[in-house]
Amino acid sequence: MVITKLLDHLGKYLILMGSAFSKPEKTSMYYREVIRQMHDIGVGSLIIVFIISLFIGAVTAIQFAYQLDGTLVPDYYIGYVVRDMTIIELAPTITCLVLAGKVGSNMASEIGGMRQKEHIDAMEIMGVNTAAYLIMPKVLAAVIIIPILVAIAAFVSIGGGYIAAVPTGLLSGQEFVMGLRSFFIPYNVFMMFVKSLVFAFLLTSISCYQGYNVKGGSIELGKASTNAVVISDIMILLADYLIAVVLI
């Protein structure tokens, strides 16, 4: 029962994505929409991403310093661990989980509202490919802007680690920087971008799917917006696991 329902959703999702990624009626209209979405997602999420990654870096540094206390592991490892934790896992995953809550729920309720107010029907009657016009620009914008947000998150997080560890005397600034420069594997940065691309695609496409298929009234709209976040979060974590298995 559950399986058939899941497969049903998966099928519908794939069909929707199929029609979402077809040739635009008018490139300029889509371009304008992509720019608007990039602004909304990027500038709109900057502050929250900044705050969260600052604290995540700080907590990582303090926690790891606490673990190291009284062991023979050198202090500069704090810098090293903050950097790798951030790049491999925390920056892409936490940022995208947060964005699923912020951007995903917003997209689901925007599109869902249009469905309920017959805006989507009105566009269809005009001859617009609504799946493409409403979904493609959002996904494209997210796929461009979210990796940039994740990169910013990574820098801020490392900065957070520095602020938490150096002024409080856990280790010296020189040691922290030395840690940052040790055992660096550029491949990890590549992984970070792969993850953020995949997560960005998942969270926007799933949220748009939820919104596009809303029926009923305001309770259903609320549910769709919640589902968008919950399902995106689960899929992001699942993809995180799969990428780790495949790419390492």
Partner 1 sequence: MIKISGIYKSFGDTPVLKNISADFQPGKTNLIIGRSGAGKTVLLKLLVGLIPPNEGQIFYDQVDFLHIKKKDLRTLRMKVGMLFQGSALFDSLTVEENIRFPLDMFTAMTKKEKSDRVNTCLNRVSLDGINAKFPSELSGGMQKRVGIARAIVLNPSYLFCDEPNSGLDPKTSLVIDELIKDITIENNMTTIINTHDMNSVMEVGDNVILLHEGKICWQGNKDEIMSSDNEILHDFIFASPFLQRLRHAAVSNGFDI
Angle formed by the axes of helices 130-165 and 186-212, nearest 10°: 140
Q: Does 69 bind partner 1 (CB under 8 A)?
A: no
Q: For residue 117, state whether it binds partner 1 (rule: CB under 8 A).
A: yes
Q: How many CB atoms lie within 10 A of CB 109?
A: 21
| CB nearer partner 1, residue 8 or residue 124 | 124
CA-to-CA separations, 27 to 18, 33, 34, 126, 198, in angstroms, rounded? 18, 10, 10, 17, 25
Smallest distance, partner 1 to C-beta of residue 38, A:
18
- Long-range contact list for 39-43, CB < 8 A, 24+ apart? 40/103, 40/141, 41/99, 41/103, 41/141, 41/142, 41/145, 41/146, 41/149, 42/145, 42/148, 42/149
Q: Give the H or E element holding residue 239.
A: helix 218-247
Min separation Cβ 122 and partner 1, Å: 4
- Assess 35 for contact with partner 1 (CB under 8 A): no
Q: Whole-number minimum distance, CB 227 to partner 1, in Å?
A: 24
Residue 209 structure tokens: 């799917």
Instruction: Find the shortest distance in angstroms from Cβ 143 to partner 1.
Output: 24
- Residue from 11, 25, 174, 218 binding partner 1 (CB under 8 A): 25
Per CB under 8 A, the segment of 54-62, 117-125, 164-172, 186-194 that binds partner 1 is: 117-125
- Annotate each residue in 120-139 with x if it binds partner 1 (CB under 8 A) or - if it does not, as one string: -xx-xxxxxx----------
Which residue in the set 118, 172, 173, 187 belongs to the binding site for partner 1 (CB under 8 A)?
A: 118
Residue 8 touches partner 1, criterion: CB under 8 A: no
For partner 1, the binding residues (CB under 8 A) are 25-26, 29, 117-119, 121-122, 124-129
